[in-house]
Amino acid sequence: MSYIGKNIKRIRAVKKLSQAAFAELFALARPSVGAYEEGRSEPKIETIIAIARYFGLSTDALLRKELTVNELYSLDIFKGEFDPTQLPPALGKSSGFEQNGNLPTSSQKRQTGAGIPLISKSMRLEYIVNLQNRDFINRLQIVALPEAQPGKTLAFEHSGGEMLTDGGGLRDGDILTAVAVSLEKANRLREGQVYIIITARELLTRRLRKLEAPAWIFEADNPAVPPLPIEAKDILELWEVKGCWTTQLQPPSLLDHKLLLLEEELRQLKERVSGLESK
């Protein structure tokens, strides 16, 4: 569920902007603003990013939560000027990758192999819009992760609970390392493998279930999330997940818990036996 319409309406109220004045800021038609607020349509990605940038918000907050008046004031939204020249370029089918699949290496950190670019949760939409912009890739935050090969790997901050299961799974905030997959070599895709799918509207993490025409079937590990059919022509980029790095302690499974209890009972039994032998 997107909260973009409610948040636009609340931002207008805080800023004391009419629909017409808000529309003028972002080169929109006034009826479009009304449609957003009433939930009849949603802004284009470029517009969402422009709104977030202008008011000092993250795109994630703008889309995924209903902002309160206090939150808006605390973010100091009265500062910042909208600069149309800073809008990202149009969507494209190709990212900042060379034809050989390597990332551009103009930054000093990448040249020395110090780390790989990170797509954080708040940068997801901007990454989609900037698929053609090599400079954008070069400006991304760099992270150093074991076994992540600089120049061929990207890091993605996972968002949401779609890949969570009772026994664990991917948690919100986990860092996934992934390598780009050629969409022209679908025969190399593996059913059951986890992929990061990038379309014109969103960035998703799903497990490939079936590779068939006309749509590929992707599934979440969370059984409450329905399967997602996506046609190959709608995929801008596809990344195969190679590793996961987390700062969250995974809860033990029921079997692990029972083993720990048995080990503790065995330890106590050994102590009692040792005490009897020493008497």
Length in residues, the chain = 279
Position 79 scores a pLDDT of 42
pLDDT of residue 185: 82
pLDDT per residue over 224-267, tens digit each?
889 999 998 899 999 999 988 876 655 555 565 566 677 778 88
Q: 271 versus 93: which is more confidently predicted?
A: 271
pLDDT band at 93 (very low <50, low <70, confident <90, very high): very low
Burial 32-44 (b: 16+ CB within 10 A, else e): bbbbbbeeeeebe
Per the model's pLDDT, the better-predicted residue between 208 and 277 turns out to be 208
Query: By CB neighbour count within 10 A (0-12 exposed, 13-18 middle, 19+ buried), where does 194 fall?
Result: buried
- Amino acid residing at 82: F
Rounded Cα–Cα distance for residues 149 and 108 (Å):
16
CB–CB of 55/65 below 8 Å? Answer: no
pLDDT beyond 90 at 88: no
CATH class as words, domain 4-86: mainly alpha
Q: pLDDT tens digit string along 171-194?
A: 888 899 999 998 888 888 999 999
What is the average pLDDT score of the chain?
A: 77
Highest mean pLDDT out of 155-159, 205-209, 257-261: 205-209
- The arrangement of secondary structure in 108-245, i.e. its CATH architecture, is Ribbon (2.10)
**What local confidence, expressed as pLDDT, does residue 257 receive?**
59
137, two tokens = 């890739």
Q: For position 240, what pLDDT does the model report?
A: 94
Separation of CA 225 from chain center: 17
Report strand pairing: 203-211 vs 153-157. Answer: unpaired
Could you give the CA distance from residue 144 to residue 117 in angstroms, rounded to a whole number?
9
Question: In this structure, are residues 95 and 137 in contact, taking their beta carbons and an 8 Å threshold?
Answer: yes
Phi, psi of 217 (to 5 degrees): -100, 120
Rounded CA gap, 188 and 182, in Å? 9
The whole-angstrom separation of Cα 118 and Cα 92 is 20
CB neighbour list of residue 226: distance below 8 Å, 6 or more residues apart:
none
* Structure confidence at residue 107 (pLDDT): 43
Give 5's pLDDT tier (boundaries 50, 70, 90). Answer: very high
CB 47 within 8 A of CB 26: yes
Q: What is the dihedral of CA 45, 46, 49, 53, to 10 degrees?
A: -170
Name the more confident of 275 and 153. 153
